[in-house]
Amino acid sequence: MQATGYMELNKEENKVKKYEIKENEHTSNRILLDWIKEVADLTQPKNIVWITGEEEQLEELRQEALSTGELIKLNEEKLPGCYLHRSHKNDVARVEGRTFICTTKKGDAGPTNNWMDPDKMHDKLEKLYKDSMKGKTMYIIPFSMGIVGSPFAKYGIEITDSIYVVLNMNIMTRIGSKVLDDLGESGDFTKGLHAQADLNPDERYIVHFPEENSIMSINSGYGGNVLLGKKCLSLRIASYMGSQEGWLAEHMLILGVEDPEGNKHYIAGAFPSACGKTNLAMLIPPEGYQKDGWKVSCVGDDIAWIRVGEDGRLWATNPENGFFGVAPGTNEKSNPNALSTTKKDTIFTNVALNADDNTVWWEKLDKNPPKNAVDWTGKKRDGSIPSDEPLAHPNSRFTSPAVNCPSISRAFHSPEGVPLTAIIFGGRRAKTAPLVYQSKDWEHGVFVGSIMASEQTAAADGKVGVIRRDPMAMLPFCGYNMGDYWQHWLNMKEKVENPPAIFNVNWFRADEDGNFIWPGFGDNLRVIEWIIRRARGEVDAKLTEIGYLPFPTDINIDACDIDLEKLEKILDVDKDGWLEDIEDIREFYGKFGDRLPNELVRQVESMAKRLKG
Ligand code: GTP
Ligand code: SPV
Ligand code: MN
C-alpha cells in the first residue's frame, strides 16, 4: 500500500520515532496535519496511509485482511463482495460501563453518563495509546456524516489501526478525498482516534470530549465502539452540537409512507438498540395494504438529525450511508428487505459460517442450521444448537450499503431530508405499555419520550431482559446532561410552528406464556396507518390517563393474525402497572436534581393524579 505525505525523522529501531507530517496530495490542512503528527508520535506506527475512498485502495485492503485472516471471503456467486469477520470473544457489543463523557464540569455530563475530568482522562489514555501502533499501519479516514458539501453534514477524521474499521466506515459513511477537499483548511471536524491495542477489556475506553470535539476509543474492535462516525459522533457528539446549535441528534429510524391517495408521510421512530428500528424502517406492507396501494420506503434505520425547516416543520436526515443491522431474527418473512440488502457488498460480523458452501447463517434465518457449521467463535459445530450456545452471536451484525435496500427512499439522497408527520417512541415491554397511544401535545410528548423504558438487549453488555428507563432510546447515547437534553426538546416547541404528533408504541406485549401478542413486523403498518390518520385529524380516539388510545375497531386487523379481543387487551390502561412505573419515574427523575425541567415534574404528578383519581 502506498504511504504518502509523511517522513520519519528518526528511523533507528527502538528509539522513539518523530514524524514529520508534510503537506501532501491529500491535504494542506495544518490543524489536521499537526494532530496526525501528535498521534503518530504517540502511537509509533510503522506506516501511515491516507484513505482516499478509491476502490483500488479498498480492494488492496480487503486482500490484506484476507491474508491475515481478519476477513473471510464468502461465496462470490451467492454473496458477491461479501466477507465474514469474527471479533474477539470478549468484544462483541457496546460497552456502556466503559463509555465516558468528559466535560469540564461533571454536571454537564449528567447522572446517566460516566464522567472523568478531561485532563485526568487524557493522562490515562495517553499511557494506553503510547506505542500502541508499533509495527502496524495507521489509517487516516476522512468521513462525512451527511451528504458531502451539504450545510447539514458534519465531518470527521478517524485515525485507526484496523482495516475492518476502514472497510466498515466505507460502508457506513461517505469517506475519502472529497471530504478533505471540502474541509479545506478548516478545523471544523471531529477528531476520532481508535487503536485496538491488545483488546484488553479492563483497559477498554470509549471516550468523548464534546467540548474538544474529539473521541478516543481503545482496546476494542467492535462496531459501535470503533466505527466512530456512528454512535460516538452522530449521537453523543452531535447531540451536544445540536444543543448548542438548535437541532436534535436522535437514535431514530426514518420511514416514508405513501397512502393509496398518494399522500406522502415521514415518520421518525426512537426504539432502544435491538428493539425494531431496522425492521420498521424496511417494513413491507401486508398484502391487503399492497393491493390498496400503500407504499413504504426507508430513509434511515438508526440515526436521525432533526432540524427546524423554513416551513416551521421538523425535517429529518439520515447522516449514515449504510446499515449496521442485527442479523439474528432477520429472515424472508420478518424482514425480506434487510435480507436482500445483505446479499452483496456486505461485511458480516460474528454470524455463523456454512462451511459447505461458504455462506452465512444465523438464528431464525431459516429452520435448517448448516450441518457443517463454524460458529461465531470459529468453532466447528454439527448444526445441532443447544439453546445456550447459538451458532451466531445474538448481537451479530451485517454492514451493508444503504443503496442495497430495495425500499431505499429517493429522499435518502436529499440533503435537506424529509418533513416529519409524526415521531414515535417505543420500547420492548412485556407488560404495561399498550400497543400504541398518542400524546396530548408537544410537552406531553416529550414527557412520554422521557419515561420510555425497555428490556435490555444483547446490543450492549449487561443483563438481557432487565427493564431500565431509556429516555428517547438515548440513555447510552446522549452526550450531555439528560436533564438539559429534555429541556432542549421542550424548547423546540417555541421554534416549531407545525410540530409532528408524538406517539408511543410497544410491539412486544406478551401473554402469560411469554409469546408476543401483536404479530409485529409488516403488520406494524396497521398501527402506522392509525398514527397517520390521527396526525391528520381524521380519526377519533379515547382520552385516558396516559394519553389518547385508539378505539380498537379503528385499527385495521383484516387478514391479520390477531382477533379483536386480543387487540383490546393490548390497548388497555393497566393502572396498577402504570402506578408502579410512576414510582420508578419519580426515582429516576430524582437523579437530575435542578437540571430536571419543571414541565416534566408537572407532567408526572398530573399523570399520577389521573391514575389515582
Ligand atoms: P440496533 O441496530 O441495535 O439499534 O437495533 P434496531 O432497533 O434496529 O432493532 P432491529 O430492527 O434490528 O430488531 C431487533 C430484534 O427485534 C430482531 O430480533 C427483530 O427480529 C426483533 N423485532 C423487530 N421488530 C419486531 C416486531 O415488530 N415484533 C417482534 N416481535 N420482534 C421484532
Ligand atoms: C445499537 O446498539 O444501537 C447499534 C449497534 O446500532 S452499535 O453501532 O454497536 O451501537
Ligand atoms: Mn442503534
Residues 393-441 pLDDT 10s: 999 999 999 999 999 999 999 999 999 999 999 999 999 999 999 999 9
Phi, psi of 553 (to 5 degrees): -75, -10
Range scoring the smallest mean pLDDT among 130-144, 226-240, 274-288, 382-396: 382-396
Q: Ligand 3 centre from 474 Cα, in Å?
A: 10
Same domain flag for 148 and 223 = yes
The C-alpha angle with vertex 298 and arms to 296 and 299, in degrees rounded to 5, equals: 135
Considering the domain architecture, whether residues 453 and 533 belong to the same structural domain is answered as: yes
Q: Is the pLDDT of residue 7 over 80?
A: no
- Cα 318 to ligand 3 centroid, rounded to whole Å: 13
Instruction: Please give the distance, rounded to the nearest whole angstrom, from the Cα atom of residue 44 to the centre of ligand 2.
Output: 30
Give the CATH number, domain containing residue 307.
3.90.228.20
Which cell numbers hold the place of 298? 426507508
* φ, ψ of residue 423 in degrees (nearest 5): -115, 135
- The predicted structure's pLDDT at residue 13: 59
Q: What is the chain's mean pLDDT, rounded?
A: 96
Task: Look at residue 78 and tell me if it is in a domain.
Answer: no
Ligand 1 atom at minimal distance to the Cα of residue 521: 27
Does residue 415 sit in the same domain as residue 399?
A: no
Domain residues for the domain of 141 are: 6-70+95-245
Task: Give residue 19 CA to ligand 2 midpoint distance, Å.
Answer: 35
Which one from 82, 102, 275, 478 is the annotated catalytic residue? Answer: 275
List, as one string, the DSSP characters of 164-206: HHHHHHHHHSEESHHHHHHHTT---SEEEEEE-TT--GGG-EE
Number of domains within the chain? 3
CATH number of the domain where residue 16 is located = 3.40.449.10
Same domain, yes or no: 451 and 380? no
H helix count then E strand count, the chain: 17, 33
Across 158-172, average pLDDT: 98
- Rounded distance between C-alpha atoms, residue 272 and residue 462, angstroms: 14
Ligand 1 centroid distance, CA of 572 (Å): 24
CATH number (domain holding residue 328): 2.170.8.10
Asked if 304 and 450 sit in the same domain, the reply is yes
Look at residues 361, 383, 404 and tell me which one is the last residue of a structural domain: 404
**Pair (22, 142) in one structural domain:** yes
- What pLDDT is recorded for position 3? 65
Please name the residue whose Cα sits nearest to atom 21 of ligand 1: 276
CA of residue 564 relative to chain centroid, distance: 35
Output the pTM of the full model. Answer: 0.97
The rounded distance, in Å, linking the Cα atoms of 442 and 445 is 5
Non-local (6+) Cβ contacts of 576 within 8 A are none
Contact 164, 70 (CB under 8 A): yes
Reported as a single tens digit per residue, the pLDDT across 550-563 is: 999 999 999 999 99
Q: Is the pLDDT of residue 392 over 70?
A: yes
524: confidence class by pLDDT, cuts 50, 70, 90: very high
Instruction: Provide the grid cell at 365.
Output: 434465518
Q: Is 526 helix (H, G, I), strand (E, B) or coil?
A: helix
Decide if 350 is inside a domain: yes
| Lowest mean per-residue pLDDT among 10-14, 21-25, 554-558 | 10-14
Is 507's C-beta closer than 6 angstroms to any atom of ligand 1?
yes
Q: For ligand 1, say whether the CB of 398 is within 6 Å of any of its atoms.
A: no
CA 278, chain centre distance (Å): 10
Beta strands in 442-541 (DSSP E): 453-455, 467-469, 501-505
State the pLDDT at residue 11. Answer: 62
For residues 119 and 198, state if they share a domain: yes
Query: What would the 3-class secondary structure string for 59-100 be?
Result: HHHHHHHHHHCCCEECCCCCCCCCEEECCCCCCCCECHHHEE
Ligand 3 is an ion; residues with CB less than 5 A from it: 273, 302
Tell me what percent of the residues of the chain surpass a pLDDT of 90: 94
> Is 560 a catalytic site residue?
no
The string over 6-18, giving b where at least 16 C-beta atoms fall within 10 Å of a residue's C-beta and e elsewhere, is: bebeeeeeeeebe
Residue keyed to cell 464468502: 74
Q: Which ligand is nearest to the CA of 271?
A: 1
What is the Cα–Cα distance from 158 to 229, expressed in whole angstroms? 8
**419 and 495, same structural domain?**
yes
Contact at 8 Å (CB) between 611 and 582?
A: yes
Please give the grid coordinates belonging to residue 464. 438481557
Burial degree of 186 (CB within 10 A; 0-12, 13-18, 19+): exposed
398 lines ligand 2 (CB under 6 A): no
Domain annotation covers residue 88: no
**Domain end: 221, 245, 269, which one?**
245
Spatial CA neighbour of 153 closest among 321, 401, 323: 321
Ligand 2 atom with least separation from CA of 251 = 3
- Specify if 90 maps to a domain: no
Domain boundary pick from 220, 245, 270 = 245
Same domain, 516 and 604: yes
Domain shared by 394 and 540, yes or no? no
Q: Is the CB of 334 under 6 A from ligand 1?
A: yes
